[in-house]
């Protein structure tokens, strides 16, 4: 279970396959079509469908669905406030990395489930195979910082500094931006569950 919280409130969860877990970190495969849940307003809109000033006044509910985005190979490092995602196109060609800036993930195991819990820091970075890059969602970070009583990012300078640290690795072609795992293929025997398992909404680790 890969879960995202705003402080203690669960807002997003997806299922994934554990590929490996070693000194480089935890690797997950999150396939297109996997079961998920996301926090939505009563009328079915999400956080990005309205101004943040409106969102914080909305009653919300966790709504189950399926992941309609592309397959994701995700590295959650042993240290650092980020994860790195690999993306391929529908023909299987590697097309980009995505640096997701977030709280260091906390792993847990309980009642037959395993998972990682984190809080997204909104600011992210797209990186091309040629290692050109651009910031993503700077406007969301700026908008939400105006509501400190509701927003879960307390130190935006630290968030940007973590992104800049990763960009130095990008520009030098260092791991994980050195081509490692760009040819990854999932095990064809892996089965995608059809629903979220009981306990997916347990309290944050």
Nearest to 121 by CA among 162, 77, 176: 162
pLDDT in tens, 113-164: 999 999 999 999 999 999 999 999 999 999 999 999 999 999 999 999 999 9
13 in Cβ contact with 65 (< 8 Å): no
Write out the two tokens for 15.
Answer: 């299922």
As a whole number of angstroms, the distance between CA 99 and CA 58 comes to: 29
Predicted confidence at residue 63, as pLDDT, reads 97
Predicted confidence at residue 164, as pLDDT, reads 98
Binned at pLDDT 50, 70 and 90, residue 89 comes out as: very high
User: How far is residue 108 from each of residues 67, 77, 98, 192, 201, measured CA to CA in Å?
Assistant: 22, 15, 24, 21, 13
As a whole number of angstroms, the distance between CA 69 and CA 64 comes to: 15
pLDDT in tens, 162-194: 999 999 999 999 999 999 999 999 999 999 999
Predicted confidence at residue 150, as pLDDT, reads 96
**0.85 surpassed by pTM:** yes
Predicted confidence at residue 5, as pLDDT, reads 98
Nearest to 170 by CA among 140, 126, 203: 126
Write out the two tokens for 58.
Answer: 């909305």
pLDDT in tens, 1-59: 999 999 999 999 999 999 999 999 999 999 999 999 999 999 999 999 999 999 999 99
Nearest to 27 by CA among 82, 65, 83: 83
User: How far is residue 100 from each of residues 9, 59, 120, 136, 196, measured CA to CA in Å?
Assistant: 19, 27, 8, 10, 24
Nearest to 85 by CA among 192, 164, 176: 176
């Amino acid at each position: 279970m890969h879960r995202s919280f705003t402080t203690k409130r669960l807002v997003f969860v997806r299922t994934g396959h554990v590929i490996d877990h070693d000194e480089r970190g935890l690797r997950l495969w999150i396939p297109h079509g996997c079961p998920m849940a996301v926090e939505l307003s009563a009328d079915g809109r999400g956080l990005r469908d309205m101004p943040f000033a409106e969102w914080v006044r909305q009653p919300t509910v966790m709504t189950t669905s399926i992941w309609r985005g592309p397959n994701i190979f995700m590295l959650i490092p042993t240290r650092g406030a980020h994860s790195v995602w690999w993306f391929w196109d529908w023909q299987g060609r590697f097309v980009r990395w995505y640096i997701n800036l977030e709280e260091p993930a906390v792993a847990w195991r309980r009642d037959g489930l395993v998972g990682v819990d984190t809080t997204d820091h909104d600011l992210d970075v797209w990186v091309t195979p040629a290692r050109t890059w651009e910031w993503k969602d700077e406007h969301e970070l700026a908008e939400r910082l105006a509501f400190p009583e509701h927003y879960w990012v307390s130190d935006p300078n630290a968030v940007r500094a973590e992104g800049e640290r990763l960009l130095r690795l990008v520009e030098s072609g260092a791991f994980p931006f050195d081509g490692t795992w760009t040819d990854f293929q999932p095990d064809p025997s892996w089965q995608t569950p059809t629903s979220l398992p009981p306990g997916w909404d347990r309290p944050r680790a």
